Structure 1
Amino acid sequence: MNQEVKRKVVSAERGLPGLRGTDHVGITVPDIEQATDFFVNVLGCEQFYDLGPFQATDDWMTKHLNVHPRTVMKKLRFFRCKNGSNYEVFEYEAPEQKTSPPLNSDVGGHHLALYVDNIEEAVDFLKSNKIKVLGEPTVRSEGPSAGQSWVYFLAPWGLQFELVSFPGGKGYEKDTSSRLWHPANRSFDQ
């Protein structure tokens, strides 16, 4: 059995049974209407539906969501963002709620990366919409990410996003027929 086939057999035998992939990413925002404007009018996501408000009088919120028992989920809203994961966006009100997003270097820090066909055009669009872009795109010319350009930007409330683009592929692809998932390879319209 060759090494690539053996690796696929091993990976199929471990992990979460029935896993297909990421369905959605949950994001808490300070103002759901501001977030909706950003997700729809800047990113180009499609708004789907709302739920809420919800508040429990017992410990349901702690038991099921690991938050303060008196937390109020004021509203949640679902968005579809082109050919990637959906976003479930929450607006909460909670005792002792932290209102600053973590930095990438903080435990729990994170960012959402969005693939674009033309990074320069996307950066110009963000800047024209008064979105803070952090520096200029970094271009990778060596290593497994060779061929990729990336740059970070911030949502109006400080959530970190990243634009990535690698229209000619990435360097690691020359060493294997396996591929990382890529939004341009899957379309809901197919």
Structure 2
Amino acid sequence: MFSQTISDGLPGLRGVEHIGITVPDIDQAERFFVDTIGCERVYSLGPFEHEDEWMKTHLGVHPRTVMRELRFYRCRFGPNFEVFQYEAADSQGPYPRNSDVGGHHVAFYVDDFDAALKHLRSHDIEIMGEPTQSSSHSLGQTWIYFRAPWGMQFELVSFPNGKLYETTSAVKLWHPARPAE
């Protein structure tokens, strides 16, 4: 169980509500999130554009940028995804790598790693290398990175019997199959 004795941090924090992702083609992203991953589309909004500095002030983008559409997806027991397609008013660099500032990936936990990996391969998803068996504190975990059709990195991860650190740590990492622990 999560320790409620922590005194610092956001009052009332419950966890991650959503992860925002910008994609070049929102229909392609929907096929990925719905058909490949198994999320459900909940709703969409847009377009949004402003003639003033609103986009710069509130979103940190060029003021003439247009947010063409955003779509929200629910993915079972994890955080929701807010997926954007923008028409940027200025140039965009390449996707950041994990080693770059701003680099990132999203990991999907699955109960049956082999079945999930086979599923990704059946959808022609780019798999990065071979499955890795973690060691040290993460012993018991299997993982592999894969890329969405637009190049963003995701991870498939499973540790149905737990990780080694759980045998000695008073605090456990949140687990989607055991959210109350």
Regarding TM over 0.5, the answer is yes
Residue type at the aligned position of 2:47? P
1:42 to 36, 39, 43: 36
Displacement of 1:178 after TM fit?
2.4
Q: How does 1:1-190 map to 2 (within 5 A)?
A: 9=5, 11=6, 13-98=7-92, 100-140=94-134, 142-186=135-179
Q: Deviations over 1:24-61 (max 9, x none)?
A: 00000000000000000000000000000000000000
Judging by fraction of residues, say which structure has more helix: 1
Displacement of 1:15 after TM fit?
0.6
Gaps of 5+ in 2: none
Which one scores higher on RCO, CA 8 angstroms, separation ≥ 6?
A: 2
Q: What TM-score comes out, normalization by structure 1 length?
A: 0.90
Residue pair 1:30, 1:99 contacting (<8 A) in 2 also: no
Cα distance between partner residues in 1 of 2:94 and 2:77: 29
Larger CA Rg, structure 1 vs 2:
1
Cα distance between partner residues in 2 of 1:8 and 1:55: 42
Cα distance between partner residues in 2 of 1:84 and 1:101: 24
Displacement of 1:176 after TM fit?
2.5
Q: What TM-score comes out, normalization by structure 2 length?
A: 0.94
CA RMSD in angstroms comes to 1.6
Cα distance between partner residues in 1 of 2:32 and 2:93: 18
Cα distance between partner residues in 1 of 2:13 and 2:91: 33
